[in-house]
């Protein structure tokens, strides 16, 4: 029963992260934080799944490395966008 509650909590975390990602697209920082929240819920689900099947946790380390690289890349994009445009609004950023 406790494992079912943990899976439900992870699912709720994932859904809240997706709802914030879809609805709050005005600032880049909020989008990046919602992506990190989704990555955190995926990390928890992977950790729970690997502990249930009693497998080694090396895959978690690889996943953490990729998620840290994704966070660093997002922050570098945020900093470069603020330096060039002055803010992190998506409306002021144009691809043309």
User: For 19-32, what is each residue's pLDDT tens digit?
Assistant: 988 886 778 888 88
> How many other β-carbons are positioned within 10 Å of the β-carbon of residue 88?
19
What are φ and ψ of residue 10, in 5° steps?
Answer: -65, -40
Mean pLDDT in consecutive groups of 10 residues from the start of the chain, 96 residues? 86 91 81 90 90 85 92 89 78 61
Residues 39, 67: contact at Cβ < 8 Å? yes
Alpha helices in 24-57 (DSSP H): 28-52
What residue ranges define each of the domains in the chain, with the CATH number in brackets? 2-85 (1.10.287)
| Per-residue pLDDT at 83 | 86
């Amino acid at each position: 029963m406790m494992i079912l509650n943990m899976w439900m909590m992870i699912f709720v975390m994932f859904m809240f992260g997706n709802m914030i990602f879809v609805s709050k697209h005005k600032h880049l920082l909020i989008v990046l934080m919602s992506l990190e929240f989704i990555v955190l819920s995926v990390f928890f689900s992977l950790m729970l799944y690997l502990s249930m099947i009693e497998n080694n946790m090396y895959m978690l380390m690889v996943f953490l490395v990729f998620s840290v690289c994704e966070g660093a890349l997002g922050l570098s994009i945020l900093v470069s966008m603020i330096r060039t445009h002055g803010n992190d609004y998506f409306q002021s950023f144009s691809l043309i």
